[in-house]
Amino acid sequence: MHPPRVWITGAGGLLGSYLLRTAPQFAPGWQVVALRREELDLTDFAAARARFQADRPDAVIHCAAIAHSPACQRDPDAARRVNVETTLCLAELAADLPFCFYSSDLVFDGKRGSYLETDAPNPVSIYAETKVAAEQIVLANPRHTVLRLSLNFGRSPTGNRAFNEMLRNDLASGKNFSLFTDEFRSPTAALVTARATWELMQRRVAGLFHVCGADKLSRWQVANLLLPRWPALPGKIQPDTVKNYQGPPRPQDSSMNCAKVQRLLSFRLPGMGEFLAEHPEEAA
């Protein structure tokens, strides 16, 4: 018997890199196969099937996606191929295995917030539409798991994947912009998401779960948790309201309730401020 072997797609991104980094601590004894875009094009389904048969993994954590909503709006066909068709291919390959797929709080229209797993999605963007379609594919298999996530922060290998990195990079380049005081999410650390994922995978928990921070925060509140840690950046941020927003539809309050998954985890899901107080390095 070999140690459990798990495929991690999107291993070069934020969440994939945290899963790799934390596996020795949170999944000791598991053998991780890191799949990065330059090593395997998952949209080449024949190549993906051949690699799957060669590796014979015991589980799959599917992180790879086009996760930037504006990019999905610009190229809906690419978004559907990567976010939906690739998920279908992998879910079929892993039909008899534990399979974990990351979805998003943006599947909701944001009209009321504090969403439960029993609330019906109502996507208002191409990105959200692809996530809903992929969720349906994954959840059709009772062995499989969907984790809906909110904004994740941390340190990615490329330094530009987490929202805190993008914000810091914009400020460092001298950009001035506004953030809404009345648009809400439930941000959490990628480190926390990785720990929760490993726990659920090892327990073979299946179904739909919201994994997010304990607090509902506006974009403006999130920025004010981060800005004191980045002194002397030339860019400036000012508060604004979504009433002044002109652009593609976006949910105003996509905050989620995480009570369902909290009952299963061995640790408490923290709010963003609480986590940063204990792990200030994660805001770099």
Determine the residue type at 32: V
Looking at residue 102, its pLDDT comes to: 98
The predicted pLDDT at position 249 comes to 87
Which pLDDT tens digit goes with each residue over 63-104? 999 999 999 999 999 999 999 999 999 999 999 999 999 999
For residue 167, how far is the Cα from the chain centroid? 17
Within-domain flag for 106: yes
Q: Is position 94 within any domain?
A: yes
| Alpha-helical regions (H) of 38-187 | 45-55, 69-74, 76-80, 86-93, 126-139, 163-172
Give domain status of residue 180, yes or no: no
Q: Report, as an integer, the average pLDDT of 156-166.
A: 95
Task: Tell me if 176 is assigned to some domain.
Answer: no
Which CATH number do you get for residue 261?
3.40.50.720
Domain that holds residue 46: 5-160+188-214+256-270
Compute the distance between CA of residue 149 and CA of residue 133 in angstroms, rounded to an integer. 16
Task: From residue 282, give the alpha-carbon distance in Å to each of 61, 116, 165, 235, 264.
Answer: 23, 28, 10, 21, 25
Per-residue pLDDT tens over the stretch 173-205: 999 999 999 999 999 999 999 999 999 999 999
Could you tell me if residue 119 is inside a domain?
A: yes
- State residue 247's pLDDT score: 86
pTM of the model: 0.97
3 state DSSP class of 10: coil
Domain count for the chain, please give it. Answer: 1
Per DSSP, what are the bridge partners of residue 278? Answer: none
Would the pLDDT of 284 be above 90? no
**Cα–Cα distance for residue pair 11/116, rounded to 1 Å:** 29
CA 44 to chain centre: 23
Strand ranges (DSSP E) for 81-214? 99-104, 144-149, 152-153, 176-180, 184-185, 188-189, 207-211
- Locate 272 and state its tokens: 């963003």
Whether 239 is in a domain gets the answer no
Residue 5 has pLDDT above 90, yes or no: yes
Please report whether residue 250 resides in a domain.
no
Domain membership flag for residue 145: yes
Whether the pLDDT of residue 1 is over 80: the answer is no
* Tokens 């941390």 found at: 154
pLDDT digits (tens, 9 = 90+) for 10-55: 999 999 999 999 999 999 999 999 999 999 999 999 999 999 999 9
Q: Is the pLDDT of residue 231 over 90?
A: no
**Is 129 a residue whose pLDDT tops 90?**
yes
pLDDT of residue 167: 96
